[in-house]
C-alpha cells in the first residue's frame, strides 16, 4: 500500500515538535496546546493537529478527549515494554544480518557512530543511534522483523532522552556500540548478538526498576 504524502507544513511542524521532545525541551507529561504551538511555529492549528496525531501514532504523544495532547510519560512499564520486544527480536536480527552481509555493508553503521560522536544535541545523537541500530539489523532478510524494530525506534528514542536528561550515559553506550560492530566485522555474529542483548538489558537495568 503506498504511503500517504504528508503536507510540507505539517511535516515541518512534525519535525519541530519531535526535535523538541527528543532534546527534552518538551518534557514528558507536558501539555501540547495547539494554539500555542501554532503561534510559536507560525502556522495554523490544522498542521499542528495533524502533526500531533502522527506523533501519537509513533508513541511520542498521548491524546486524551478531555485533556488534549501531551508528551508521553516515560515510566518503568513503558521502558520494559519497548526494550523487552527489542531483546526478543533485535539480537536475532543482527545475528542474521552478520551471516548474510559483506564487510562493506557495515559502513553505514560506522558512519552512524561517527555522527553520534559529533552530535550537537540529544536529538541528533538519538538519530545517529537509531541509524546505527538499524544498519545492524537491516540486512536480516526478514521484512517483518525490520518493520517491528523500525516501529519501536521513536519510543526507544523517547526513553533514552528521558534517561540522558538525568544520566548522561551515551559515552558508555557508544563504547558498547563499537564493541558490537567490531564483533560483526570479525565474523563473530553470535558474539555480536550476545553483546547487543547485554547492551539493551544493561541500559534498562541501570535506569529502570523491575516491573
Q: What is the pLDDT of residues 82-121, one digit of tens each?
A: 999 999 999 999 999 999 987 777 999 999 999 988 988 8
Is 146 a residue whose pLDDT tops 60? yes
Q: Check residue 211 and give its pLDDT.
A: 57
Closest CA to 207 of 167, 171, 174: 167
Note whether 34 and 105 are same-domain residues. no
Is residue 2 very low, low, confident or very high in pLDDT (cuts 50, 70, 90)? very low
Taking 80 as the threshold, does the pLDDT of residue 170 lie above it? no
Torsions phi, psi for 169 (to 5 deg): -100, 15
Residue 114 lies in a domain: yes
Least reliable range by pLDDT among 1-10, 80-89, 188-197: 1-10
Q: Is residue 67 part of a domain?
A: yes
- Whether 1 is in a domain gets the answer no
Do 98 and 196 share a domain, yes or no? yes
**Between β-strands 31-32 and 61-64, what pairing exists: parallel, antiparallel or unpaired?**
unpaired
Within the chain, strands assigned E span 31-32, 61-64, 68-71
pLDDT at res. 7: 57
Q: Which three cell numbers stand for residue 91?
A: 539480537
Number of structural domains found in the chain: 2
Q: Considering the domain boundaries, does residue 120 fall inside one?
A: yes
For residues 25 and 125, state if they share a domain: no
Domain that residue 190 falls in: 76-207
Question: Which cell numbers in the block locate residue 100?
Answer: 548474510
pTM: 0.83
Question: Are 81 and 157 in a shared domain?
Answer: yes
Q: Are residues 176 and 89 in the same domain?
A: yes
Q: Are both 125 and 182 inside the same structural domain?
A: yes
Q: What is the CATH number of the domain that holds 148?
A: 1.20.120.530
What CATH number should be reported for the domain holding residue 31?
1.10.10.10
Q: How confident is the model at residue 60 (pLDDT cuts 50, 70, 90)?
A: very high
Domain end (from 71, 90, 109): 71
Residues 89 and 181 in one domain: yes
Are 42 and 61 members of one domain? yes
Confidence of residue 55 (pLDDT cuts 50, 70, 90): very high
Residue 207 is predicted with a pLDDT of 87
Average pLDDT, stretch 1-27? 78
Average pLDDT of the segment spanning 157-176: 83
Amino acid at each position: 500500500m503506498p504511503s500517504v504524502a504528508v503536507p510540507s507544513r505539517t511535516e515541518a511542524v512534525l519535525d519541530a515538535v519531535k526535535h523538541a521532545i527528543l532534546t527534552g525541551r518538551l518534557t514528558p507529561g507536558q501539555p501540547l496546546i495547539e494554539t500555542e504551538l501554532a503561534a510559536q511555529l507560525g502556522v495554523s492549528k490544522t498542521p499542528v493537529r495533524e502533526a500531533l496525531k502522527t506523533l501519537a501514532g509513533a508513541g511520542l504523544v498521548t491524546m486524551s478527549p478531555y485533556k488534549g495532547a501531551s508528551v508521553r510519560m516515560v515510566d518503568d512499564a513503558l521502558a520494559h515494554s519497548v526494550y523487552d520486544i527489542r531483546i526478543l527480536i533485535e539480537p536475532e536480527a543482527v545475528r542474521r544480518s552478520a551471516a548474510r552481509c559483506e564487510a562493506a555493508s557495515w559502513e553505514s553503521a560506522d558512519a552512524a557512530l561517527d555522527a553520534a560522536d559529533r552530535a550537537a544535541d540529544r536529538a541528533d545523537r538519538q538519530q545517529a543511534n537509531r541509524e546505527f541500530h538499524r544498519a545492524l539489523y537491516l540486512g536480516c532478510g526478514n521484512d517483518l522483523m525490520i518493520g517491528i524494530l523500525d516501529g519501536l525506534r521513536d519510543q526507544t528514542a523517547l526513553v533514552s532522552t528521558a534517561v540522558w536528561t538525568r544520566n548522561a550515559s551515551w559515552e558508555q553506550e557508544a563504547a558498547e556500540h563499537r564493541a558490537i560492530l567490531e564483533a560483526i566485522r570479525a565474523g563473530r555474529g553470535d558474539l555480536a548478538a550476545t553483546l547487543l542483548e547485554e547492551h539493551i538489558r544493561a541500559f534498562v537495568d541501570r535506569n529502570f526498576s523491575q516491573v
